[in-house]
A and B are shown apart, each in its own frame.
Chain A
Amino acid sequence: MLNSKVLPNLVFADNQCILAFINNDIKTQIRKVLPEFLTQFQDKVYRGQIDGIIRQIARVDFPEGFQTLLDYFVANLKAFNDLLNANNPPDFLGDIVFNFFKTLTLVFKDQMKDRRHSSKQNFYNFYAKILAEFSNVWTVFNTNFSAMLGNVINLKNSDQLERFMKLIRMLDKIMLAILCCGFDEIHTE
Chain B
Amino acid sequence: MKNIFQKAANYIEFITKFKNEGAKEVTLLLNKNLTKLIMLITHLQGMFPLLFINSLADYLQLIKIIINQNLDLFSSDIVVKAGLWALNKVLNAYTFYTEPAMFQSAPQTPQKYKNYGTEQQLLHQQYKANLTEDTIEGFLNVFILKILPTSKEKIYKSDTSIENLVESGRTSICYITSI
Using CB atoms and an 8 Å cutoff, list the residues of chain A in contact with chain B: 112, 139, 142, 145-146, 149, 153, 158, 161-162, 165, 168-169, 172-173, 175-176, 179-180, 183, 185-188
Q: Taking A165-B29, A172-B36 as given, write out 15 further A-B residue pairs in contact, using a Cβ cutoff of 8 Å, ordered by the A residue number.
A: A145-B10, A153-B23, A161-B26, A169-B33, A172-B33, A172-B37, A176-B41, A180-B43, A185-B116, A186-B51, A186-B53, A187-B48, A187-B51, A187-B53, A188-B53
Q: Restricting to B146-171, which residues have a CB under 8 Å from any CB of A?
A: none
User: CB within 8 A of A165: which of B3, B32, B40, B112?
Assistant: B32
Whether B102 is near chain A, meaning CB under 8 Å from some CB there, is no
Total residue contacts A-B, CB cutoff 8 A: 64
Evaluate contact between B7 and A142: CB separation under 8 angstroms: yes
Given contacts A180-B47, A186-B48, A186-B116, contact A162 B10 (CB under 8 A): no
Evaluate contact between A176 and B44: CB separation under 8 angstroms: yes
Evaluate contact between A186 and B30: CB separation under 8 angstroms: no
Cα separation A169 to B35 with both chains bound (whole Å): 10
A-B contacts, 21 of them at CB < 8 A, read: A142-B3, A142-B6, A145-B7, A153-B23, A161-B29, A165-B29, A169-B33, A172-B36, A172-B37, A173-B40, A175-B4, A176-B4, A176-B40, A176-B41, A176-B44, A180-B44, A180-B47, A183-B48, A186-B50, A186-B53, A187-B48
A-chain residues with CB within 8 Å of residue B3 when the two chains form the complex: 139, 142
Contact pattern, B 1-42, Cβ under 8 Å of A = 1, otherwise 0: 101101100100010000000010110011011001100110
Evaluate contact between B26 and A173: CB separation under 8 angstroms: no
Per DSSP, chain A at the interface is: helix
Using CB atoms and an 8 Å cutoff, list the residues of chain B in contact with chain A: 1, 3-4, 6-7, 10, 14, 23, 25-26, 29-30, 32-33, 36-37, 40-41, 43-44, 47-48, 50-51, 53, 112-113, 116, 119
Evaluate contact between A168 and B33: CB separation under 8 angstroms: yes
A-chain residues with CB within 8 Å of residue B51 when the two chains form the complex: 183, 186-187
Cα separation A172 to B41 with both chains bound (whole Å): 10
Given contacts A142-B7, A145-B10, contact A185 B37 (CB under 8 A): no
Cα separation A165 to B40 with both chains bound (whole Å): 16
